[in-house]
């Protein structure tokens, strides 16, 4: 029988899962060649503006395979509906039988993305953080800041959003942080040495001349061939350029944009799962610039969907005992 797991039940168990550890495990499996991930399927909509991504795959010799459908419709908040929607489907890898339908409404996609951002900070952020820069004011921008606190104790934040109202709302909702609103991305970059970009921009927001030596940037917004938050010259300037998936970076994300415009070659790019197993990053100087381009990889969905499914099954058994 297929297990149906509703949003409320997911919320009740996900707080007990170390999502960052699950992301680390997944990225290592991926870079070690133990994961089958076909190209991303996607639908792009104009009226209203929106997108739906289909990501799927499996870890070799595992119990399950996963298909994730996640969408973002940017006018939804005007209707009182969250921008992110979706679900995850788990199937038995040996028989193809459906195991679970996770009706997460995009929650798990949000959480695994935030956890991946925190993971990159764990390994690549400067040791001494002057301030954290957040570009974007949506759900993901908030989660990124909250998840960073698992490794970064600094509460000083500079924030930039497209509208002052959104920035003020963000500030009021995260009152535990010392949030300053920047007039521009360039002002934010001048004051921060750890920056996260979390927008759906299709034109660059940060440029090479904006970034000080010793800055780390985690770029998460550019997950389609059209989106672009970082100027190509900035990627060229980076001393360390990291992709969550080199294969996906050939068709989407910041790295794709820079390669398409002949600013860099793929030889410059390292893969996240490989680097976190090595000592390479430990040899970076304090003035080096590092950039991680997170396009979102299906292995993140696989490991988190499995972890939630197992937690739910165990919890139901305990409740029935």
Check residue 181 and give its pLDDT: 98
**DSSP states of 94-126 as a string?**
TT--EEEEE--TTHHHHHHHHHHHHHHHHHHS-
User: Measured at the alpha carbon of residue 27, what is the angle toward residues 26 and 31, in degrees to the nearest 5?
Assistant: 120
* pLDDT above 90: residue 95: yes
Average pLDDT over residues 285-299: 93
Reduced to 3 states (helix: H, G, I; strand: E, B; else coil), residue 246 is: coil
Q: What is the mean pLDDT of the chain?
A: 95
Per-residue burial over 93-108, b = 16 or more CB atoms within 10 Å of its CB, e = otherwise: beeeeebbebbbbbbb
pLDDT band at 167 (very low <50, low <70, confident <90, very high): very high
- Interatomic CA distance for residues 273 and 321, integer angstroms: 40
Is the distance from CB of 225 to CB of 252 less than 8 angstroms? Answer: yes
Check residue 282 and give its pLDDT: 58
Check residue 11 and give its pLDDT: 96
Model pTM?
Answer: 0.94
Query: CA 188, 189, 193, 199 torsion: positive or negative?
Result: positive
DSSP tag of 212: P
Check residue 243 and give its pLDDT: 98
Q: pLDDT tens digit string along 168-204?
A: 999 999 999 999 999 999 999 999 999 999 999 999 9
Check residue 93 and give its pLDDT: 97
* pLDDT above 70: residue 257: yes
* pLDDT above 90: residue 1: no
**Which helix (H) or strand (E) segment is 181 a member of?**
strand 178-181
Query: 23: which 2 tokens?
Result: 């992301």
The domains located in the chain, with CATH, are: 3-108+299-314 (3.30.1780.10), 113-297 (3.40.50.720)
Q: Which residues pair with 45 in a beta bridge?
A: 50
Average pLDDT over residues 152-174: 96
Check residue 321 and give its pLDDT: 75
Is the distance from CB of 71 to CB of 84 less than 8 angstroms? Answer: yes
Check residue 84 and give its pLDDT: 86
**What length is written for the chain?**
321
Check residue 278 and give its pLDDT: 85
CA distances from 266 to 225, 228, 234, 302 (A): 16, 17, 15, 27
Q: Which residues pair with 55 in a beta bridge?
A: 68
Check residue 280 and give its pLDDT: 67
* pLDDT above 80: residue 231: yes
Q: pLDDT tens digit string along 46-83?
A: 989 899 999 999 999 999 999 999 998 988 988 998 88
CA distances from 100 to 3, 108, 203, 240, 247 (A): 4, 14, 39, 40, 28
Reduced to 3 states (helix: H, G, I; strand: E, B; else coil), residue 70 is: strand
Check residue 283 and give its pLDDT: 58
CA dihedral 136, 137, 143, 147 (to 10 degrees): 60
Average pLDDT over residues 211-222: 96
Burial class (CB within 10 angstroms; exposed 0-12, middle 13-18, buried 19+) of 145: buried
CA dihedral 279, 283, 288, 289 (to 10 degrees): 0
């Amino acid at each position: 029988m297929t297990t149906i797991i509703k949003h409320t039940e997911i919320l009740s168990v996900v707080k007990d899962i170390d999502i960052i550890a699950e992301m680390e495990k997944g990225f290592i499996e991926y870079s070690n060649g133990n994961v089958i991930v076909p190209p991303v399927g996607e639908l792009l909509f104009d009226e209203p503006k929106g997108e739906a991504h289909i990501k799927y795959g499996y870890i070799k010799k595992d119990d399950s395979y996963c298909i994730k459908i996640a969408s973002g419709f940017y006018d939804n908040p005007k209707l009182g509906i969250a921008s992110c929607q979706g679900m995850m489907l788990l199937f038995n890898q040996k028989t193809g039988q459906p195991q679970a339908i996770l009706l997460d409404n995009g929650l798990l996609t949000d959480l695994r993305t935030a956890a991946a951002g925190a993971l990159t900070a764990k390994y690549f952020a400067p040791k001494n953080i002057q301030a954290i820069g957040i570009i974007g004011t949506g759900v993901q921008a908030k989660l990124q800041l909250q998840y960073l606190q698992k490794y970064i104790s600094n509460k000083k934040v500079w924030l930039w959003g497209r509208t002052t109202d959104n920035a003020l709302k963000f500030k009021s909702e995260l009152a535990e942080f010392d949030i300053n609103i920047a007039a521009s991305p360039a002002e934010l970059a001048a004051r921060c040495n750890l920056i996260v970009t979390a927008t759906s921009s299709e034109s660059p927001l940060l440029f090479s001349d904006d970034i000080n030596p010793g800055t780390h940037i985690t770029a998460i917004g550019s997950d389609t061939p059209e989106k672009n938050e970082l100027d190509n010259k900035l990627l060229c300037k980076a001393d360390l350029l990291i992709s969550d998936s080199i294969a996906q970076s050939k068709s989407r994300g910041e790295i794709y944009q820079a390669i398409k415009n002949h600013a860099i070659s793929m030889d410059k790019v390292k893969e996240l799962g490989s680097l976190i197993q090595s000592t390479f990053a430990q040899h970076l100087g304090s003035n080096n610039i590092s950039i991680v381009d997170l396009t979102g990889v299906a292995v993140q969905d696989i490991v988190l969907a499995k972890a939630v499914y197992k937690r739910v099954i165990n919890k139901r058994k305990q409740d029935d005992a």
